[in-house]
Amino acid sequence: MRAFVKTGDRWLMPRMGAAALWFLAAGSWLTTVPVCAQEPGGFSKQRLAPSVVSLAGVAWDVDAVDVIHYELNLTLAMTEELMGGTTSLRVVLKNIAGGMTDRVALHAARLQIDSARVNGVACSVATDSYAEAIALIAPSGVHFMSGETLAVSIGYRRLAGVTRPGGRWGYYYFRDSLGIPAHLGYTMSEPSDARFWMPCHDDPSDKATADIRVTVPDGYVAVSNGKLLGTDHPVAGFIRWHWREDHLIAPYLMAITASRFTVSSMPFVRAAGDTIPLQYYVWAPDSVETAAYLPVVHEMTAGLSEIFGPYPFDKYGMVCIVPFSYGGMEHQSITTMNRHLKTEEWVVLHELAHQWWGNLVTCATWADIWLNESFATYSEALWHELKGGPDGLRSYMMNSLLHFYYGSWQGAAYDPEGQGFHLFDDVVYSKGAWILHTLRGAVGDSVFFRTLRAYRARYAGSNATTAQFQAVADSVAGSSTAWFFDAWVHGMGWPIYNVRRGWSGDTLKVTVSQLQSASWPVFPMWLQLRIRGGGHDTTVTVWNDARSATYAFRPGFAADSIELDPQDRVLKQVTYTATAVEEVIRVPEHMMLEQNYPNPFNGTTVIRFSAGDAAGARVRLVVHDVLGREVAVLYEGPGAVGERSVSFDASRLASGVYLYTLQAGERRSTRPMLLIR
């Protein structure tokens, strides 16, 4: 899932007028249902506790249910927000105290339950609003055994005018009067809202197969997960769409979207004799643009298949809608795309990558959500690498460092909610992607990509925890990676390095200090140090696992610059100091431009530079914005011997990325800096 990127954009649910509607459910006509006024409310992905309802004598244990298969037979009115029908489930009971029970519990919230049967036996229904669950209670004398497979059937309706907590509607309906080309109905369940439109075991760890039949008025297309098995007409004026997902799917990834869509399609060949469709369901005004974009989706699918292994499902579809509060949502095999971003490369790639990371392999708990979102976000970087090589990868990763100012980056990637952050805060997106990039740099490309493939192979069609991903990394690397996961995944913050350098005789001494808050861990890491001078260039690797460590080298040449992590493979901030107390001050032979400090900065920052052996040449140090416009001249004149520093006052500039360039004679050097207000 990618959050909607336009600041302040928040779609509101419309106010529904009073009306009445005949509506079809489970193949038969139901009585008229009044449609009450619905208060507008925003979309929210936070899980908010509803009001507590205490029901004495009812034991709740939804986790005792293991769903094997869902069979949904639903009808969408498409003139109002009403939906209803039957959900049938095949479930296995597990871990039942005493070995037997007289009830089956499932998640269901704000649904009108009309009937409930277990193995054909009519059951009474009790509701617990706090647990957002129902219990199907068998008649006296009827019991179900632990380990028994049960057939559960529930007839229900989702009514208008029912208060739902925190904007958690589950099913959303919009009229074309909002300016959209047709009436629109769709579901959106992540993380825990599937229970608002179907009875289920609403937990990411309980994956099942599914048959989904959706009846809509003629002229409407109902799109869902898996393969389209066909359509029929249960009654005059209505069409029923039958989709089947033979691959295991978590409830939050199940979806229905219905409107007057057109579809564009092109084949994707996974292997000889194995072809699946790539599809885009859109309103007619968008059909030309999206059909022309499918070759790009084909290229993305081929590229990610090359990296991660074959695309895992029977189709890859996208359905383009608005209003929709997110950039996209990775419903299994049928991504929901925001119409405003329907061909936005980073969103399309992100949701496609989720088909491997999040859908094929699903986080076992919401504390492990970074296994979904960080992997999909890093896939964006890998796509840039496929297109632009190492420079494309580096550019993407360096741009994402602009997110340092997100408060959640100070937390750990694991369990954002446990730290007080939103479940889908940026710590599990861009920071998590940087953690994966850092792991790749630490273990090397071969081990990293073999780890991803082994992780996929081990947990395909299943769920995984962070500890299980770590165990796969251990196995592939042939040694423990606890040193990495403990600090980088479970630890707060990131390393803030300071590099001090100087000479003692012919020995170059480099001190690397970690200056981050004492409440943040020391971050163990293999660090590269690039040493340059006198036309020489060499890179050494050191192990750094202390608040401060000094390394001594005899490079055999007059080194005039040190660069930490020259390939930008480590999540970090870094500053440089030219000399230490006991060291000999030297005159650099070559032009030198250091990273500004502090960076990011607010107001003023300091830049150190030297013209080196171009001391007699004309020297300019200037600042540009990202459009190339010169915003400040910090130094202009003849080069000076030795190192010097200037202060840059940016108090009158807007927040953003700026570039500062040193030109000494024919030589130029440029570095970025980030101004935050």
pLDDT in tens, 242-263: 999 999 999 999 999 999 999 9
CATH of domain 362-479: 1.10.390.10
User: 618-629 pLDDT, tens per residue?
Assistant: 788 999 886 778
Report the DSSP pairing between strands 208-217 and 65-76.
parallel
The first and second tokens of residue 577, run together, are 């100091």
Contacts of 505 (CB under 8 A, 6+ apart): none
User: 12-59 pLDDT, tens per residue?
Assistant: 222 222 222 223 333 332 222 222 222 223 333 443 333 233 333 344
From the list 551, 543, 558, the residue with the least C-alpha distance to 483 is 543
Contact (CB, 8 A) for 410 and 465:
no
Residue 126 CA to residue 547 CA, distance in Å, equals 58
What is the per-residue pLDDT for 61? 83
Please name the residue that has the structure tokens 């609403």.
202
Q: What sections of 370-429 are H helices per DSSP?
A: 370-400
Strand extents, DSSP E, 108-207: 112-118, 121-122, 124-128, 133-137, 144-145, 149-158, 171-174, 184-187
Q: What sections of 444-556 are H helices per DSSP?
A: 445-459, 466-477, 482-484
Residue 318 CA to residue 334 CA, distance in Å, equals 5
Contact (CB, 8 A) for 499 and 511:
yes
Say whether 533 sits in a helix, a strand or coil.
strand
Highest-pLDDT range among 97-111, 209-223, 527-541: 209-223
Residue 593 CA to residue 580 CA, distance in Å, equals 19
What is the per-residue pLDDT for 584? 36
What is the per-residue pLDDT for 106? 97
Residue scoring higher pLDDT (68 or 667): 68
Lowest mean pLDDT: which of 215-219, 511-515, 564-568, 661-665? 661-665
pLDDT-derived band at 578, boundaries 50, 70, 90: low
Please name the residue that has the structure tokens 């939804």.
62
pLDDT-derived band at 6, boundaries 50, 70, 90: very low
From the list 637, 108, 343, the residue with the least C-alpha distance to 335 is 343
The first and second tokens of residue 136, run together, are 């199907």
Residue 44 CA to residue 48 CA, distance in Å, equals 9
Pick the CATH number of 494-585 from 3.10.450.50, 2.60.40.1840, 3.40.50.2300, 3.90.950.20: 2.60.40.1840
Q: What sections of 229-367 are H helices per DSSP?
A: 287-308, 345-353
**Span 260-272, mean pLDDT?**
97
**Span 557-575, mean pLDDT?**
92
At 429, phi and psi to the nearest 5? -105, -90
The reply to whether omega before 323 is within 30° of 0 (cis) is: yes
Flag whether pLDDT at 188 surpasses 70: yes
Whether CATH 2.60.40.1930 fits 587-677: yes
**Span 556-573, mean pLDDT?**
92
Flag whether pLDDT at 324 surpasses 80: yes
Architecture field, domain 2-260: Sandwich (2.60)
Please name the residue that has the structure tokens 């008025």.
217
CATH topology identical between 494-585 and 587-677: yes
**Span 286-304, mean pLDDT?**
98
Please name the residue that has the structure tokens 């997960």.
225
Flag whether pLDDT at 579 surpasses 90: no
**Span 580-602, mean pLDDT?**
62
**Span 188-199, mean pLDDT?**
97
User: 394-404 pLDDT, tens per residue?
Assistant: 999 999 988 88
What is the per-residue pLDDT for 522? 98
pTM for the predicted model, two decimal places: 0.80
Domain ranges of the chain: 2-260, 362-479, 494-585, 587-677
Please name the residue that has the structure tokens 């300091």.
606
Residue 509 CA to residue 462 CA, distance in Å, equals 51
pLDDT-derived band at 614, boundaries 50, 70, 90: low
Contacts of 502 (CB under 8 A, 6+ apart): 508, 509, 578, 579, 580, 582, 583, 584, 585, 586
The first and second tokens of residue 193, run together, are 């809202």
Flag whether pLDDT at 655 surpasses 70: yes
* Maximum Cα–Cα distance across the chain: 100
Whole-number percent of the chain with pLDDT over 90: 69
Distances in Å between the alpha carbon of 205 and those of 69, 197, 379, 406?
A: 14, 19, 23, 30
What is the per-residue pLDDT for 24? 33
From the list 133, 63, 120, the residue with the least C-alpha distance to 96 is 63
**Span 503-514, mean pLDDT?**
90
What is the per-residue pLDDT for 473? 98
